[in-house]
């Protein structure tokens, strides 16, 4: 594997999940693969889980890891070609990326949507500069449009907990005080549309995701109806994708918060969220603390999804 930016890069999804479950049983079995190899993790945005789980995954594979927080201690980076650099940005990404590549064998990048220009965000301007100019395998640690390490971990978690061959999985919008990117719901939809599940997206009008991610999913605007018979509820906030409201908050309707009454409509569903989560905005304390909450197993599986991706990259070096 040379690049990991979306579900297609995994190839056969069943095989990828099987590999993940094998890695999970013996996560130190491939320690020789990463000997004398270095994984560089570049963060343009904050992180708790991705930072720790990806470092751990690389270390499980015997790699050295280096972490660069671009906005804390590095030179401020210009990303636009052609700009007269007379402002506060001292270095261009076009030099910084090939320089970073001198010191490592594999690069992970986190660069969120900036909400300044939808076309720039959806063309993955920053991630693609790493792909084009590093000459190294590159994986997304959440880019502008996708968070494929999270969605892979979510799929592994569903596979581990499902009680029927084809569970009903519901992705539900929920309220949040800040405008959040669509990367997590996009990737979750990207994966669920390829998995053997009945997949439903529920959201208020105006929060429709991009068609390339929704594909054949059922879209249901009545959250209660969507929850009926669900085996997994995946809650997440996202800002508007559709023009002319890209990146805007259209609603903070607390009727969409996942609570005990709503979970009672389901088939004793498991509750999922990628974290970090705003309690009593996205989900009530009772639901996230209930035995049906999978938020910690999901976070644990981030180590496994990252390890499968880095392992495949090491195998292709």
* Positions that interact with ligand CP (CB under 6 A): 47-50, 142, 150, 274-276
Q: How far is the CB of 116 from ligand CP (least distance, A)?
A: 21
Distance, CA of 164 to CA of 132 (rounded, Å): 43
* Complex with ligand CP: residue 52 or 254, whichever CB lies closer: 52
Nearer to ligand CP, 101 or 308 (CB): 308
Task: Write out the H or E segment, with its range, that includes residue 138.
Answer: strand 138-140
CB 153, min distance to ligand CP, A? 8
For residues 101 and 309, which CB has a smaller minimum distance to ligand CP in the complex? 309
Cα–Cα nearest to 112, from 74, 82, 70, 84: 70
Instruction: Check whether the bond before 244 is cis (ω within 30° of 0).
Output: yes
C-alpha span between 30 and 34 (Å, rounded): 8
Residue 47 or 64: which CB sits closer to ligand CP?
A: 47
Write out the DSSP string of 199-268: EEEE--TT-PPPHHHHTT-EEES-HHHHHTT-SEEEEE-----STT-TT------GGGSB-HHHHTTSSS
Q: How many Å apart are CA 250 and CA 98, to the nearest integer?
A: 40
Shortest CB 179 distance to ligand CP, Å: 16
Q: Which is nearer to ligand CP, 121 or 142 (CB)?
A: 142
Q: Which of 100, 120, 180, 115 is nearest to 147 (CA)?
A: 180
The radius of gyration of the chain's CA atoms, rounded to the nearest angstrom, is 19
What's CA 8's distance to the chain center, in Å?
A: 14
Closest approach, Cβ 229 to ligand CP, in A, equals: 27
| Beta carbon of residue 250, minimum distance to ligand CP (angstroms, whole number) | 23
Give the residue with the Cβ less far from ligand CP, 78 or 139: 139
| C-alpha span between 154 and 192 (Å, rounded) | 10
Tell me which residue has its CB nearest to ligand CP: 50
Cβ nearer to ligand CP, comparing 210 with 275:
275
Minimum distance from CB of 149 to ligand CP (Å)? 8
Smallest distance from ligand CP to CB 175, Å:
19
């Amino acid at each position: 594997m040379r690049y990991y930016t979306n579900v297609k890069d995994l190839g056969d999804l069943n095989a990828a999940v099987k590999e993940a479950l094998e890695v999970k049983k013996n996560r130190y079995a491939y320690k020789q693969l990463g000997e004398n190899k270095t994984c560089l993790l570049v963060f343009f945005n904050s992180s708790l889980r991705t930072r720790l789980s990806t470092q751990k995954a690389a270390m499980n594979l015997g790699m050295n890891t280096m972490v660069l927080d671009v906005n804390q201690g590095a030179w401020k980076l210009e990303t636009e070609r052609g700009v007269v650099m007379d402002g506060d940005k001292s270095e261009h990404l076009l030099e910084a990326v090939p320089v970073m590549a001198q010191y490592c064998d594999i690069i992970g990048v986190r660069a969120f949507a900036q909400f300044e220009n939808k076309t720039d965000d959806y063309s993955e301007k920053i991630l693609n500069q790493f792909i084009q100019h590093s000459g190294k395998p590159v994986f997304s640690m959440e880019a502008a449009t996708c968070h494929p390490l999270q969605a892979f971990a979510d799929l592994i978690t569903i596979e581990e907990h499902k009680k029927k061959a084809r569970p009903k999985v519901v992705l539900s919008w929920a309220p949040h005080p800040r405008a959040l990117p669509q990367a997590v719901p996009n990737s979750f939809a990207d994966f669920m549309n390829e998995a053997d599940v009945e997949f439903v997206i529920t959201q208020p009008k105006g929060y429709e995701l991009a068609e390339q991610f929704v594909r054949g999913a059922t879209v249901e605007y009545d959250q209660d109806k969507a929850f009926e018979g669900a085996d997994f509820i995946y809650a997440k906030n996202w800002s508007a994708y559709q023009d002319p409201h890209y990146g805007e908050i259209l609603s903070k309707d607390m009727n969409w918060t996942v609570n005990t009454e709503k979970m009672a409509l389901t088939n004793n569903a498991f509750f999922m969220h990628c974290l970090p989560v705003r309690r009593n905005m996205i989900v009530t304390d009772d639901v996230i603390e209930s035995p049906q909450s999978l938020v910690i197993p999901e976070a644990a599986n981030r180590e496994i999804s990252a390890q499968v991706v880095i392992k495949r990259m090491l195998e292709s070096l």
